[in-house]
Amino acid sequence: MSPARFCKGQGRMLRLILSKLLYLVPTFLGITIIAFSFVRILPGDPVLLMAGERGVTPERHAELSAQLGYDKSVVLQYFDFLWRLLQGDLGHSLVTKKPVMDEFLALFPATVELGLCAILLATLIGVPVGVLAAIKRGSWFDQVSMTTALVGFSMPIFWWGLLLIIFFSGILGWTPVSGRISLMYYFPDVTGFMLIDSLLSGQSGAFTSAVRHLILPSVVLATIPLAVIARQTRSAMLEVMGEDYVRTARAKGMPTRRVIGVHALRNAMIPVITTIGLQIGVLMAGAILTETIFSWPGIGKWMIDSIARRDYPVVQSGLLLIAALVMIVNLLVDLTYGLINPRIRNK
């Protein structure tokens, strides 16, 4: 490739990235408005909730509301919120009085670890199964795997998790009941990822314990993405395999494996990678249910508890952070798609 063409290519890439980022700004603002307004219209006065059965006098109520800034006009409160947000201040939890950002950062690694393991599981199993099912189209493997995938896709994961707990933890006793690692192990939090920290600590058995604790929650969380990835991979493969250039390669006498490996798979991967990326949103939703069932100390459970307690600042900031996360991942997927899809790359 000539230097000029290379530079032009880079420039195009840059413009693509910039345009996508710019597109995000109004969306981001929209997200902040929604996060803010939802929380403001949540019924349930946090002051009253904190007082409980005891009750609170009107004066005290006014005092507390003023302290929390709820007496100013809603519009003012929004701009207050936005301004502080841009400075990185997400407010303080009404329940623990601690900065929301600190709480989020303390809990986030647990959810990320779970999510990563789940998506890894889903991809490592889903993609090969999908490819194989496409190659052996119509065989019993294809039928069985696709039916299983459909079942997985239709599964209420909160029930699925409960069943797995009853069976593997209750009856068989193979997996622990809850938590991220056995209480026996105590080591400092270096990265927040139990798998990494347990290895770093050097304590024998710590890593195994961390893995054992991760298995069931990952399996449950991975169920739906696995099903989707398997199905999508199969569809993508079938579509590609039906394309003219593949048939041409076959007709030319190229060995099947080479055809699949070199041509079909690479091109099928494009929509598959998009699918994997889009599962992030599904993972977040699934994390809420999975963390609730397994008492996994992550942000999914934190959000549910905060909604129930009307912890406004947490719900607001949590919604925002999660949506922002999904947006960023989608952007990355978009960019990756643009990068690897030759049709877009060379436009």
Partner 1 sequence: MKTLFVLASAALAMTAVTAQAKTFVYCSEASPEGFDPAPYTAGGTFDASAHPIFNRLTEFKKGTTEVEPGLAESWEVSEDGTEYTFKLRQGVKWHSNESFTPTRDFNADDVIFSYDRQGNAENPWHQYIPGITYEYYTSMAMPDLIKSVEKIDDYTVKFTLNQPEAPFLANIAMPFASIVSKEYADALDAAGTREDLNNLPIGTGPFKFVAYQKDAVIRYTKNTEYWGTPAIIDDLIFAITPDAAVRLQKLKAGECHLMPYPAPADIEAIRTDPNLKLDEQAGLNVGYLAYNTTQAPFDNPVVRKALNMAIDKNAIVEAVFQGAALPAKNPIPPTMWSYNEAIEDDAYDPEAAKAMLEEAGVTDLSMKIWAMPVQRPYMPNARRTAELMQEDLAQVGVDVEIVSYEWGEYLAKSMEAGRDGAVMLGWTGDNGDPDNFLSVLLSCDSAGEGGANRAFWCNEEFSALLKDAKVTADPAERTALYEQAQVIFKEQAPWFTIAHSTQYVPMSNKVSGFKMSPLGDFTFETVDIAE
Partner 2 sequence: MTDTPLSPAPVRLSDAAIRRRMLSEFWFYFRQNRGAVIGLVVFVLLVLTAIFAPVLAPYDPTSQNRGALLVPPFWQEGGSTAYLLGTDAVGRDMLSRLIFGAQYSLFIGIVVVSIALVGGIAIGLVAGFFGGWVDSVIMRVMDVILAFPSLLLALVLVAVLGPGLTNAMIAIAIVYQPHFARLTRAAVMSELKREYVTAARVAGAGNFRLMFKTILPNCLAPLIVQATLSFSSAVLDSAALGFLGMGAQPPAPEWGTMLAEAREFILRAWWVVTFPGLAILMSVLAINMMGDGLRDALDPKLKRS
> Using CB under 8 A as the criterion, which residues of the chain lie in contact with partner 2 when the complex forms?
26-27, 30-31, 34, 38-39, 41-43, 147, 150-151, 153-156, 158-160, 162-163, 165-166, 170, 234-235, 238, 281-282, 284-285, 288-289, 292, 303-304, 307, 315, 319, 322-324, 326-327, 330
Q: Exposed, middle or buried: residue 334 (CB in 10 Å: 0-12, 13-18, 19+)? A: middle
Nearer to partner 1, 96 or 248 (CB): 96
CB of 94 to partner 1, least distance (A): 7
User: Distance between the two ends of the chain, CA-based, in angstroms?
Assistant: 16
Give CA–CA dist 241/249, Å, rounded. Answer: 10
Q: Which residues contact 133 (CB under 8 A, 6 or more apart)?
A: 141, 142, 145, 146, 230, 234
Which one of partner 2, partner 1, none is in contact with 282 (Cβ closer than 5 to 8 A by kind)? Answer: partner 2
Residue 146 and residue 129 in contact, taking contact as beta carbons nearer than 8 Å:
no
State the binding partner of 57 from partner 2, partner 1, none, CB within 5 to 8 A by kind. partner 1
Measured CA distances, 310 to 46, 170, 306, 322 (Å): 6, 34, 6, 18
Instruction: Report helix, strand or coil for 200.
Output: helix
Nearer to partner 1, 145 or 209 (CB): 209
Instruction: Return the structure tokens found at 186.
Output: 């105590």
Could you give the residue ranges of the DSSP H alpha helices within 52-99?
A: 58-67, 74-86
Min dist CB 186 to partner 1, Å, is 6
Closest approach of partner 1 to the CB of residue 161, in Å? 12
- Nearer to partner 2 by Cβ, of 235 and 336: the residue is 235
Q: 125 vs 215, which CB is nearer to partner 1?
A: 215
Please state whether 55 falls in left (phi above 0), alpha (psi between -120 and 50) or beta. left
Q: Give the CA count within 13 Å in the CB-facing half-sphere of 299.
A: 27
Residue 56 interacting entry, from partner 1, partner 2, none, C-beta within 5 to 8 Å by type: partner 1
Partner interacting with residue 103 (select from partner 1, partner 2, none; CB below 5-8 Å by kind): partner 1
Q: How far is the CB of 280 from partner 2 (least distance, A)?
A: 9
Cβ closest to partner 2, residue 196 vs residue 326: 326
The whole-angstrom separation of Cα 213 and Cα 177 is 8
* Binding partner at 82 among partner 2, partner 1, none, C-beta below 5 to 8 Å by kind: none
Residues near partner 1 (CB under 8 A): 43-46, 48-61, 64, 67-68, 92, 94-98, 103, 106-107, 165, 169-170, 173, 176-180, 182-190, 200-203, 295, 297, 301-302, 310
Amino acid at 13: M
What is the smallest separation between the CB atom of 206 and partner 2, expressed in angstroms?
29
Q: From the list partner 1, partner 2, none, which binds 319 (C-beta under 5 to 8 Å, kind-based)?
A: partner 2
Closest approach of partner 1 to the CB of residue 273, in Å: 33
Residue 3 interface partner, choices partner 1, partner 2, none, CB cut-off 5-8 Å depending on type? none
Three-state secondary-structure class, residue 247: helix
Which C-beta is closer to partner 1: that of 74 or that of 177?
177
DSSP symbols for 95-125: TT-SBHHHHHHHHHHHHHHHHHHHHHHHHHH
- By beta-carbon proximity to partner 2, the closer residue of 18 and 163 is 163
Greatest alpha-carbon pair distance for the chain in Å reads 87
293, 299 Cβ separation under 8 angstroms: no
Residue 85 or 327: the one with the smaller Cβ distance to partner 2 is 327
